[in-house]
Structure 1
Amino acid sequence: MDMNQYLEVFIDESKEHLQTCSEQLLELEKNPHDLAIVNEIFRSAHTLKGMSATMGYEDLANLTHKMENVLDAIRNGKIALNSEIFDVIFQAVDDLEAMVFSIADGGDGKRDVTLVVNKLEMIEKGESPSGAAAADETSVALAIEFMPEAIKYDEFELTVLQQSKEQGFESYEISIYLREDCLLKAARVFMVFEVLEKLGEVIKSTPSAEMLEEEKFDQHFTVTFITKEPVIDLQKMIMKVSEVEKVEIQPIETDKFKHQENNVGPIAPVPNKEEKSPGIQSNEEHEPESKKSSGSRNTSSKTIRVNIERLDILMNLFEELVIDRGRLEQISRELNNQELHETVERMSRVSGDLQNIILNMRMVPVETVFNRFPKMVRTLARDLNKKINLEIIGAETELDRTVIDEIGDPLVHLLRNAMDHGIETPEIRLANGKPEEGTVVLKAYHSGNHVFIEISDDGAGISRDRVLKKAIGNGIISEENGAALSDKQVYELIFASGFSTAEVISDISGRGVGLDVVKNTIESLGGSVSIDSKPGAGSTFLIQLPLTLSIISVMLVEIQREKFAVPLSSIIETAIIKKEDILNAHNQQVIDFRGKVLPLLFLKDIFEVPLHTEDDDFYSVVIVRKGDKMAGLVVDTFIGQQEIVLKSLGNYLNNVFAISGATILGDGQVALIVDCNALIK
């Protein structure tokens, strides 16, 4: 039997079962005596084992079988849960996820899981799994010593490497060998890092920074480094550090990590089904949607899985219909025919309803992104020796799939930032009168045509003086201008490119590479990000995102004989001002707008629109806002509001200043869409 026809179903259902395992393991860790949760995990593992065996993925089936045996012993009271056992089961789930994603990327799903299998077998026998780890300690050490190319990167580190490449940086794995008779190895490591930090940014060290500081390594260590400096200069500078014997620099090709086995991305829940596809072995006890809480079942809903490419095609066809609808409305107004007018009006209502249905079909709950974070927080909290509780609120909030696809990496960085820099260690928290367990809250909610996502923590907050000192030292702002900034404006400085207040090497926070990328990514989606903080009480990052990116509401304006579209989401109001009301301040034309000094931007000058008519005594102004900053866009005429289809300018015009795309109007003309964020920036 040809099983390829069932591959897509197998991958979707496998991801679903593994997501259930991850969620329920986190729940079981909080309630280790709740056998209903163990049964839930067992059912998912049992079903996954059967599916894998049926599809011929023996490695996947064997590892699941070993995990299933341990779970069966736990639910039968033969094994008592402890932290060691939880760690091993989590590792098994991580390996299973890597196998499934390997299959999804066209691989064979094979993976060396000898270590975790040995640990599971020892647990099943009632022995401590730490013995298996000790047996493999020598081979692991050799892998670090002699295989620097085998360095593995997690999702966040890969994102930093890829986005740094896009910004013109080069990435390298730099292997540094110290002399055999080197006595103060940690001091030499510090000196090497001091040299490197003057030339670029350290992304990762192998062994970890902590192990290097404690001299838990032989004579060799590797750093992952991004820079714009030539390789020969890097080598010369590092070799100047005494007792460094050899330096090997290997360029990193980020493309080769695309299908890295341990690079496990988000596991997205998929729609439930009432019927299983033939050829996929299932368990009668299991219902895919039963993952909200242990021991509870939701009623199956009649749903089908639809390939997202089909939805994209449907959306593109409807976008063409929207363009033609606008043309028909214009013709109807020009001809002034009552019957035509009524027909077009009815067609507009029907197409409007169809538009809502199609947009809703593309909406995906943010839980598809949020679901990966609890396990990530658990792992990082252990690495940082901190106690952190992640609270997720509003996971059912929906966003367009295109936005969902892009928002995951910025959220990963902000969460890591909150855990690394925000939440204090248990000792410091207790000394400051706080509970030893810190709290990070991830919250999503709708408001108007936007979705807001908040990442807040009850940690140390942000030090205004420290941020300001760093910003002045980096030349981001002058000391005189810095003194005039409000606290909120000072906090916004951390989004500047390359800004970092980190004083020690950290593999968690990304060493200052990221917050500017976070901001750029969110703004490229038509959103914004702001920050607020109270020293000693914590910080809050607020992300504002549009519900969808495909069809947007705009204000059409005219400049000379050219039409432009300004997104309504950026507009506060429109105004008519007299020419004589315009003032000059610091070589900038401004107006007094409701008691505030508002800069004026003349779009005809910015976009170099050919002049056909002279200025008159009155100006039409569109007041736009980005965060707490505002500006007035001076245009010739307001045409009116309209829903338009956002079209890309293509690869050749992707760097046009302050233009985010274009649209085709009802009369066939092309109108450029103004990027207000870029203008105000």
Structure 2
Amino acid sequence: MDMNHYLEVFIDESKEHLQALNENLLMLEKQPEDLGVMNEIFRAAHTLKGMSATMGYNDLAVLTHMMENVLDGIRNDKIQVTTTLLDVIFLAVDHLEAMIDSIEAGEDGKRDVTDVIDKLQLLEKGLHPEEHQTAQEIAATATNMNTSSSLQYDQYERTIIEQSREQGYECFEMKVHLIPDCVLKTARVFMVFEVLEKSGDVIKSLPSVEQLEEEQFGSEFTAALITKDSKADLEKKIMKISEIEAVQIQAVDLTHQHKLENTTDNKKLESSHLDKKSGSTSKTKKKQAKTASKTIRVNIDKLDILMNLFEELVIDKGRLEQISQNINHADLNETVERMSRISGDLQNIILNMRMVPVETVFNRFPKMVRQLAKDLNKKLELHIIGAETELDRTVIDEIGDPIVHLLRNAIDHGIENPEVRLASGKAETGKINLKAYHSGNHVFIEIADDGAGINKQKIINKAIAKEIITSSEADLLTDEQAFDLIMAPGFSTADTISDVSGRGVGLDVVKSTIQSLGGSISITSAEGKGSTFSIQLPLTLSIISALLVEVGNEKYAIPLSSIIETAIIKSSDIMTAHNQPVIDFRGSVVPLVSLQEVFHVENEDEHDSEFVSIVIVRKAEKTAALAVESFIGQQEIVLKSLGNYLTEVFAISGATILGDGQVALIVDCNALIK
């Protein structure tokens, strides 16, 4: 069977199982007695092991199997959940993730995991290895232990062992430790197996014979032998071989063995056992199976092609609507109207297919925060809010790295050390809120910490020293303008640059990435209280509803999501405040912005008019009135980039092609309000 056909599915499902492991392990750390969480962890590891073995990735399967043994001990109350234990399991998951990444990159997925396997074996035996222990120390510790079997036997192997004992034979499990600097390990393994085969029949080994032949193991291996020789005789024969450091021999105790679920019946039995423990019902399982059968995986490239074709359809639909209006034929008008409704429904379906919850990005951060907090000796709580908020897949793929950088900055230089926090009257545990929410046609992502905040004067002094601004300009800066300076290339206020990050280092990259997505980033901070980085992103990068307006001799599109309402006011109602034209909008003073002046549009028919057409737009709590010449009407438009040569055009987020072939620029209302 050609397994390459299933490779993409294997990678996708493996990532899902690894994410489930990460999430549930974090939950287990907080709720070590929760059997339901433990069963979910075991199920994910077990499934990943089976998939890996089926696809032929033995290193991945062996590591997952060793991890599964520890998890099985936890759920059977033989091993206690501790921080040290979870550190080792997280380390194993990190190795698994690296293997999957290797496979995804077209490599073989092989990795040296000797150290973590040694630690997992100690955990299985009830010890808690420290991170600094070497494989040699672990092996030496294990030598002095009277341990239970580390191999697991399927039904066929169990039957052989039982029948052999009835005929006077015994089954021994031998764990052979080679000296740390052993050369030609495979040759030593061959010599050991030669001795064993003269004494009886080897029925199982760990790692497998193939892995042993390819030297894919650390400093130890285990073999099960059916023989009539005694333990003492076997030990004497094996220890005669040079470069053997120690050997542990024990009789196999089948009463403490857990069967490997290699058959369908065994898998069903285990699944039933797990569901019974976690309170699941057969009705729920049937419902889940039914839901799963209605789900398929679609390559994102295919969705991109579908979206591009639909964009062309939207442009042609606009052209057809214009022709219909000019001809004014009843049947044609009816057909075009029906086509518009159908294309609108089709658009919603395509856009929803591309929308992905931001939790696909957010769910990797708790584990990262946990590890960084340990590395920096800080106490941290990460609160994720609005993870169900959806974004276009193309935006999701790009936003992960900027958020990682902002989180690392917040942890390293935002949150203070516990003793500093206590001295300043704060709780020793710092808090970081990662929040996502919709607002109009945009998604906002906020990273807020209750740390030390940003020192405005320190930023200004550094900016003056780097000749980014002058002293006279510094006096006029608002807080927000001062904080924006830290996103200048190479700007940093950090006294020392750590391995994690320095607040300000690399923020120019964060800013440019977000701007390339059509978004923006702003900073607010109160010294001693904390900082908030707010990222604004477009909901989608493709099709939006907009109001077409005329400004002079040109047409512009204003996104409907930013519009509160439209109106026509008298020119005499326009007032002036702080040298800025304003109007009275429902009892509030709203600034009036002339698009003709902002975009320097020429108007051949320019004359004083008694009335002015305005569009009231909003960004968060701020509003503004945009003065235009006339309204054309609402239309679905395809948002197109201005290209690499026009990257920073003020208040223009893109362009669209209208039905008559004309190009209309799309107004960025947020920039105008700011």
Same fold, TM-score > 0.5, yes or no: yes
Whether contact under 8 Å (2:593, 2:627) holds in the other structure is: no
User: Partner of 2:659 in structure 1?
Assistant: 666
Distance 1:334 1:313, change over 3 A: same
Shift of 1:16: 1.0
Aligned-partner Cα distance in 1 for 2:268–2:531: 47
Shift of 1:95: 0.8
User: Partner of 1:238 in structure 2?
Assistant: none
User: Partner of 2:640 in structure 1?
Assistant: 647
User: Partner of 1:322 in structure 2?
Assistant: 314
Q: Which residue, out of 489, 504, 529, partners 2:496? A: 504
In the alignment, residue 304 of structure 2 is paired with which amino acid?
A: D
Distance 1:526 1:88, change over 3 A: same
User: Partner of 2:433 in structure 1?
Assistant: 441
Equivalent runs, 1:195-214 vs 2, <5 Å: none
Query: Secondary structure, in 3 states, of the residue corresponding to 1:542?
Result: strand
Whether contact under 8 Å (1:50, 1:282) holds in the other structure is: no
Identity across aligned pairs (percent)? 66
Answer yes or no: is 1:523 the counterpart of 2:515.
Answer: yes
User: Partner of 1:88 in structure 2?
Assistant: 88
Equivalent runs, 1:68-217 vs 2, <5 Å: 68-130=68-130, 133-134=133-134
Whether contact under 8 Å (1:564, 1:672) holds in the other structure is: yes
Distance 1:45 1:294, change over 3 A: same
In the alignment, residue 87 of structure 2 is paired with which amino acid?
A: D
User: Partner of 1:276 in structure 2?
Assistant: none
Whether contact under 8 Å (1:118, 1:132) holds in the other structure is: no
Q: Which residue, out of 579, 604, 607, partners 1:616? A: 607
Aligned-partner Cα distance in 1 for 2:359–2:330: 49
In the alignment, residue 34 of structure 1 is paired with which amino acid?
A: D
Shift of 1:75: 2.4
Answer yes or no: is 1:396 the counterpart of 2:388.
Answer: yes
Q: Which runs of 5+ in 2 are unaligned?
A: 138-262
Shift of 1:132: 6.5
Shift of 1:495: 3.3
Aligned-partner Cα distance in 2 for 1:523–1:627: 19
Question: Would you say how many aligned residue pairs link Structure 1 and Structure 2?
Answer: 530
Equivalent runs, 1:480-491 vs 2, <5 Å: 480-491=472-483
Q: Which runs of 5+ in 1 are unaligned?
A: 138-278
Shift of 1:577: 9.1
In the alignment, residue 58 of structure 1 is paired with which amino acid?
A: N
Q: Which residue, out of 290, 298, 304, partners 2:296? A: 304
User: Partner of 1:156 in structure 2?
Assistant: none
Equivalent runs, 1:168-567 vs 2, <5 Å: 283-284=267-268, 299-300=287-288, 301=291, 302-510=294-502, 512-558=504-550, 561-567=553-559
In the alignment, residue 396 of structure 2 is paired with which amino acid?
A: I
Map Cα deviations across residues 250-306 of structure 1 (whole Å, 9 max, x no partner): xxxxxxxxxxxxxxxxxxxxxxxxxxxxx999954899xx99x98767842232222
Shift of 1:109: 1.1
Report the aligned-residue RMSD: 3.8
User: Partner of 2:66 in structure 1?
Assistant: 66
Aligned-partner Cα distance in 2 for 1:359–1:283: 39
Whether contact under 8 Å (2:413, 2:502) holds in the other structure is: no
Query: Secondary structure, in 3 states, of the residue corresponding to 1:349?
Result: helix
User: Partner of 1:244 in structure 2?
Assistant: none
Query: Secondary structure, in 3 states, of the residue corresponding to 1:70?
Result: helix
In the alignment, residue 380 of structure 2 is paired with which amino acid?
A: I
Shift of 1:409: 1.6
TM-score using structure 2 length: 0.69
Shift of 1:405: 1.4
Map Cα deviations across residues 355-410 of structure 1 (whole Å, 9 max, x no partner): 11221111111110111000010011111110101111221121111221122122
Answer yes or no: is 1:47 the counterpart of 2:55.
Answer: no
- Structure with higher RCO (Cα < 8 A, 6+ apart): 1
Aligned-partner Cα distance in 2 for 1:520–1:91: 33
Whether contact under 8 Å (2:453, 2:528) holds in the other structure is: yes
Shift of 1:56: 0.5
TM-score using structure 1 length: 0.69
Aligned-partner Cα distance in 1 for 2:483–2:45: 46
Aligned-partner Cα distance in 2 for 1:318–1:135: 59
Shift of 1:650: 5.2
Whether contact under 8 Å (2:21, 2:45) holds in the other structure is: yes
Whether contact under 8 Å (1:393, 1:442) holds in the other structure is: yes
Shift of 1:632: 8.2
Aligned-partner Cα distance in 1 for 2:481–2:552: 37
Distance 1:136 1:414, change over 3 A: farther
In the alignment, residue 416 of structure 2 is paired with which amino acid?
A: E
Which is further off, 538-547 or 40-49?
538-547
Distance 1:537 1:580, change over 3 A: closer
Query: Secondary structure, in 3 states, of the residue corresponding to 1:133?
Result: coil
Aligned-partner Cα distance in 2 for 1:394–1:3: 39
Distance 1:365 1:581, change over 3 A: closer
- The structure with the largest alpha-carbon Rg is 2
Map Cα deviations across residues 96-147 of structure 1 (whole Å, 9 max, x no partner): 011112212222111222221222223223344237634589xxxxxxxxxx
Shift of 1:432: 2.4
